[in-house]
Structure formats: C-alpha cells, structure tokens
Chains A and B, each alone.
Chain A
Amino acid sequence: MACLIHKGFARDDRGISDILAMAFMFLMVIFAGVLLHAYRSDAINSAANRQLQMKAEYLYRTLELAQVENYSLSYFEAAAENLIGVTEPVVPKNYLDNQIGDLLAYLCPPNYTVVVKLTYENFSRLYPSGISEPDNTATQFTFLGKVTIIIAGAATENSVAQVDAVLVMFKS
C-alpha cells in the first residue's frame, strides 16, 4: 500500500513538473517572439535620421547660397557682415533678423527647431533672434562650415574675414 501511494505521488509530481516545464517554454516562446520582432526595427529610424542629417546640410547650403530678398548678398554673408560690424552693412540688422526668421520658419521641418550660430573672434550671434542655444540632451543634427567675406578697406587694401557658422536642428 505504502509502495502504491509512493508511486502515485511520484507520477503526480512528474505531471506537475511537465506542465511547469511547458509553461516555462510558453514564456520563452513569448520572450523569443518579442525579441524577434524588435530585432532590426531601428533600421527605418536610422534611415530617417540620415534624411534629417541631409536636411540639416541642405538648410545650411540654402542659407549660404540663397539671396536675401531685395539684396544680392546671401543670408550668411549678410549675417557675417552684421556680426563683424562693418561700418555700413548692406542689409540692415532688423530687416535681416526678420528675413532669416521667416526663412527658417518656412524651411524648418515640422516638430523641429533650427538654430544658426555665427561666431567671429569673441562675438557670436544666434538666429532666429531671441532663441537660446539647444541643450545637449536632445538628438541634434548639426552641420558646420565657414563664411568668408571680403571687407573693402578705406584705401586700396581689402581684408578677408572668416566667420564660423553652425546649424543645429533638433526635435522641439
């Protein structure tokens, strides 16, 4: 009798352990399913980020090449002139601020903010006016370069000035 009871308990124990093993395998299958579906799902995000980086470069080139309305200077050239402080800048400061603000609002992708920083020696200027520098916690797409302008001297001598330009695009 005792032997039979013992055998019966052993069979029950084995049945429970089998079910536990299967339950564990179910959990493993669910976990594997999540992993399999999560794998490589960032490929589209990476491709989209490459597009945003290219967009930052195109924005920089547009500011570098496009001419300010009613003037023959490019946006960057006009901003560099204002920053360096030439005696009579071709484009008035307030007009230029408005024009760059309008242009960035027109070209900036939705849900993103674009900040342009020009630096010459110890002076720097941010566009659009009134904006502060982005903090480094947000994902940023940056493109930088230099703006070269020739300043006509009073006599025959002309001088060359180089301004550092950085364009930062980040999610707002």
Chain B
Amino acid sequence: MRIFKAVLAALLIVIFIALLVSAYNQYSLTLSTAGLVDATTSITNHLVIDNLAHKSGGNVQEYVIDPGKIPSLEFRQEIGGENFGFHLILFYNTGENLDCGPPLPEGKAVAAFLAPVVVYENNRLEPAKLEVKVWRV
C-alpha cells in the first residue's frame, strides 16, 4: 500500500511538471503567433499609408498605392527590436497580379493579411487588394 501511494505521489508530481512545461510552451507559441499577426498588421499599415503611398503635388495620398514604388522597397522591417521579412502581392481588379519580394521561408511561421486598397494606375484610382506575408528573420 505504501509503495502504491509513493508511486501515485510521484506520478502526480511528474504530471504536474509536464503540464507546466506544456502550458509554458503553448503560452510562448500563442504570444509569438499573436506578435507575428500584429507585425503583419503594422507592416501592411506602414506600406499603405507611408512607404507605397502615392504622392500628388507634394502631398501624400494615404490609402492610395503607387505600384511604381514596389520594386524599390526593402522587404525587411524592424518592429519592437525584431526583424521581419515580407512578401507582397497586389491583386488588380482586372485579374492581373504583381508579385514582389523574397520567396517565403521554409519551416518558419508565416502570417498573411489581405487588405482592400486603392491603386493609382493610368491617372485613375482603382480598387485592388494587397496581400502581405510576414515572417521573422
């Protein structure tokens, strides 16, 4: 009976430690994923209202993308002390795509965000979609 109780107590301790380790791993993974999703939001916002924003007469037109600026982009950004790489695809209303940036890494978590945007093309403001895929470098 005593041996049985000792084994049960040891099992209890082992299970509790295993639970703590598993919960910590899950907590880290959750925070890391949420951070990656937030980084994707931040990078997309930065692209749309700053880096890719169309300039007209010295004024920056926020939410209007100038596709001519995409090739000159540096597809890397630092947010909160962490470096992120990104890849973007611009889906035109006409069905054409503009795919730019480094290839997606293998074996790394990648977050994607598809945002409705306006594209300045042929002196017109056309609706389009911008997909940004982000990963940790």
The interface residues of chain A, by DSSP majority, are classed as helix
A65 and B37 in contact (CB under 8 A), knowing A33-B23, A55-B116, A109-B114?
no
Number of A residues, CB within 8 Å of B:
35
Residues of A within 8 A of B (CB): 15, 18-19, 22, 25-26, 29, 32-33, 36-37, 39-41, 43-44, 46-48, 50-51, 54-55, 58-59, 61-62, 65-67, 74, 103, 106-107, 109
**Is there a chain A Cβ closer than 8 Å to B118's Cβ?**
yes
Contact count band on B: 35 or more
B41 touches A43 (CB 8 A): no
**Is there a chain A Cβ closer than 8 Å to B79's Cβ?**
no
What is the chain A residue whose CB lies nearest that of B5? A18
Chain B contacts for A66, CB-based, 8 A: 118, 125-127
**Is there a chain A Cβ closer than 8 Å to B136's Cβ?**
no
A40 and B30 in contact (CB under 8 A), knowing A22-B12, A58-B115?
yes
Chain B contacts for A19, CB-based, 8 A: 5, 8
